[in-house]
Amino acid sequence: MALTFASLTTDDTQGKLKAYVGEGEITKDKINIYGAWGVAHIPKLQELLHFICKNGYEHHVAINRSQVARVLQKAFSNYLGIDVYWHT
């Protein structure tokens, strides 16, 4: 099942908003843990995690069960003037 992830945060030293978006898929893998959970496949995940850590982003994201990263990137960038990293 398709998914889009996004994170929007503040860059306190620059006084502005920044974001990252990307796409992947929810897998059917089962895990035995308590609470809400899900397993996702994100292409080039290690590259994304390196970017997140290097640029001071949080690793928590919002997800949507569709592929709309392009729409989010355009809306954040063009209409709100936010710097956006699009993980492709």
Max Cα distance, the chain (Å): 42
Rounded Cα distance, 68 and 77, in Å: 14
Is residue 49 helix, strand or coil? helix
Residue identified by tokens 């945060």 is 9
Rounded Cα distance, 38 and 58, in Å: 19
Rounded Cα distance, 4 and 22, in Å: 6
Residue identified by tokens 């929810």 is 26
pTM for the whole structure: 0.89
pLDDT of residue 64: 95
- Residues 45-59: tens digit of each pLDDT: 999 999 999 998 988
